[in-house]
Every structure is written in structure tokens, then in C-alpha cells.
Structure 1
Amino acid sequence: MNAEPVAKRPGGRSARVQAAVHQALTELAGERDVNQLTIPAVAERAGVNPTTIYRRWGTLQALLAEVADLRGTDVPPPSSGDLRTDLEAYAVRTLADLTRPGGIAFFRAEVSSDIDERRNGLRECLRRATAGLDTVLEASRGRGETPPSPERLLDRIVAPLHFRVVFSVPGTDETYARGLVADLFSGSRHQAVELR
């Protein structure tokens, strides 16, 4: 006599566990330094056994990277009709994304060499950064303008913001972000910051 097939759960537990773990990690990343994040702490906050996280994600870096992927980037607002204004808004949004609770921890995990071979996090980060820029540049070209290249904007706006946030350089705020755009339009460069 054949046993009756076991009914599958209607999608539920795995998705609930994933959502609880993601939420717990996001909350803890906003409350603690990245060096204080551990899988047992995430498991406790999520109400799951640490082995569940180890089995599914393997490492904290892999879990951080997955959550970073899902966080994505906010959809840029409609064009203001002015390239400089749009680039300033882009720079401020980029800075806000990096400095929001846990932002830099997620960024570091996403580009970590430990997991990059499987996920190509560097390429994904670059794709997201240029997707936001592409929206701004397309609007500018649609107005008949000749905007700077994406590479120039990455070099003059995106890279300095990431560098300064990663290394906690003082003075990296909205004024600095807007200043990068002003420098781009004036052709000058920010003075080097003296690190003490």
C-alpha cells in the first residue's frame, strides 16, 4: 500500500523565515557597528535557530549581500528640467543611501571578494549606480543637451562619495555632495581633505 503524498506547505515558512532574517539583519545593521553583527545575534532577533541561517546563507557576508541586492536603489524623481539640479539630487540620494542605517555595511558586503565570485557584486553595484545616472543623462539628451559621460560622473561624483563614506572622512554631507556637482560644472576639484 502506497503512502499518500505529503501536502506541501503553501509557500509559507521559508518565505517567512527569509523575511524575518532580512528584517532582523536590517535592524541590527542600523543599531550596531558592522563588526558587532553576528549570525547568532541575527538569529536571536529573527526568532530562528542560528543553524537555519548558516545552512541557508553560509556566512554573514552572504546574508548582507543578499539583503543589499534586495534593498536596491530608489527610483529617481522626475527630471527637474535642469541637468545640474538633477545631478545634485542624484548625488544627495547616493550619499543618503550610503549613510542610512547599515548602508555602508551592506555596500561592503556586496563588493566583498569573499562572495563576489558567485554574485559579481561589483558589477551589480556599478549597474545600479549607472542606472540612476542613465536616467538623468537620458533626460538631458532629450532636451538636446550634451551631458558629461557616465564615466566622468562616476569619477567626479560617485567615486568620491563612496570613498569618503567608506573611510569616514569628516565633512561628507549634502553640502559636499552638491559641491562635487558644482566642481564638475566649474571644472575645478575639491581640495584634498587633511586626514589626522
Structure 2
Amino acid sequence: MSRKPMVRPGGRSARVQEAVHTAVRELQAEVGRPELTVPLVAARAGVTPSTIYRRWGDLQELLSDVAVEHLRPDAPPQDHGDLSADLRSWSEQFIEEMGSPIGRAYLRDALLGDPDGDNAARCSAYAAEQIDVVLARAAERGEEVPDVESVLDRVVAPMMYRILFRPGGLTTAYARRLVQEVLDSLDASR
């Protein structure tokens, strides 16, 4: 049975979520992921194991929820003054963070505890929101911009494939090449 964690809950629910998420992150750093158990997390968070089981279902779904929350961007993309620089900067940061061993572990956790695909959709929405900010800024400056789906398909999707299945060659040069290709296709369509 799949439990769906509440998104940005308020009140006591928010305090429980924060305490449990904090406990998971601290325990992962202290004892390592293989040693995590629901009772260990519950004790650290100051809740009963049944609270965790009721809310998350099992340890894998809890780890998935923690991973998705970690993958949520905490700030809008930097504004470098033009579309090319903004997309390059965003894609380089994305490939560095998601391609790191920690980033790949969070991605695996996010997807493993997500039988319905909701977490994958949330992670995709995070990327789309960030790209939308970059494209909206460029459009406000009068630049011609591709649509969000084109950037997702031609920049994010290839990077994610490499991150998950072929992590060799994950360089900022690769990210820059993908960005240049989507921008070149924009120029070619004029």
C-alpha cells in the first residue's frame, strides 16, 4: 500500500515531517543508509514508529520523500544577463549536483520509493519551474526563447539519462554542448 506524504503540511504535521526528515539526514551521516531503520529514525525524531508507518508506509517511501525534498531547488536560477549564459549556468550546476554520488543516491531514493511516479513528476516539475524562470527572464529582455518542453527534452532528459545510466562523461562541457544545441535549433527555426 502506497502512502502519499503531504506536501508542505502545516502545524503539527509540518513539525513531524521536519523532525523525521532531519532524523533521516542526521542518521544517514552518522550510521550510513544501510543501518537506517524505522524505529531508529522514529527514536531520533521523537515520534513513534507507527507515526512513520502511517504517514510514509515504509522506510523506502520515507527515504524517497526525504530525497525529493532535498532535490527541491532552494533558490531561483542565477541571472547572468542573457539566455545562453543563464541556461549554461543552470545546466552546469544541475549536472554537477545530480551527477555527484550524493545526487545520484538521492535520485535513486526518490524513484525507488515511488511506485506511482508522483516523485518523478515532482522532480520534473522542479526542473521545469527553474527552466521557466530562465526563459521568462530572457523573454522579458526581448530574447527569443525555446519552450520549456524543448529544454527538458534536449537538455535535461539527456543529462538525466547519463546521470542514471551512463555517469561517465558527465562534464560541464557536455551540459554546455546540450544547451548550445537547443539554442542552435532555435536559430535554425527562424
Length-normalised TM-score, structure 1: 0.68
- Answer yes or no: is 1:180 the counterpart of 2:178: yes
Counterparts of 1:183 and 1:74, CA distance in 2: 28
In structure 2, stretches of 5+ residues that fail to align are 1-10, 186-190
What letter matches 2:76 in structure 1?
A: P
Structure 1 residue aligned with 2:160:
162
Counterparts of 1:29 and 1:166, CA distance in 2: 21
Structure 2 residue aligned with 1:108:
108
SS of match in other structure, 1:116 = coil
Counterparts of 2:21 and 2:13, CA distance in 1: 14
Report if the CA contact (8 A) 1:97-1:103 is conserved. Answer: yes
| Residues 29/83 of structure 1: CA separation in 2 closer, same or farther (3 Å cut) | farther
Structure 2 residue aligned with 1:147:
145
| Residues 138/114 of structure 1: CA separation in 2 closer, same or farther (3 Å cut) | closer
Report if the CA contact (8 A) 1:68-1:110 is conserved. Answer: yes
Structure 2 residue aligned with 1:90:
90
In structure 1, stretches of 5+ residues that fail to align are 1-10, 188-196
Counterparts of 2:30 and 2:168, CA distance in 1: 21
Instruction: Give the number of equivalent residue pairs.
Output: 173
| Residues 47/144 of structure 1: CA separation in 2 closer, same or farther (3 Å cut) | closer
| Residues 159/29 of structure 1: CA separation in 2 closer, same or farther (3 Å cut) | farther
Report if the CA contact (8 A) 1:39-1:60 is conserved. Answer: yes
Structure 1 residue aligned with 2:7:
none
Question: Rg bigger for which structure?
Answer: 1
CA-atom RMSD, angstroms?
Answer: 3.4
Report if the CA contact (8 A) 2:99-2:170 is conserved. Answer: no
Structure 2 residue aligned with 1:25:
24
Q: Sequence identity, in percent?
A: 35
Report if the CA contact (8 A) 1:92-1:174 is conserved. Answer: yes
What letter matches 1:138 in structure 2?
A: A
Structure 2 residue aligned with 1:65:
64
Question: How big is the shift at 1:105?
Answer: 3.1
SS of match in other structure, 1:88 = helix
| Residues 163/136 of structure 1: CA separation in 2 closer, same or farther (3 Å cut) | same
Which structure is higher in helix share? 2
Length-normalised TM-score, structure 2: 0.70
| Residues 61/160 of structure 1: CA separation in 2 closer, same or farther (3 Å cut) | same
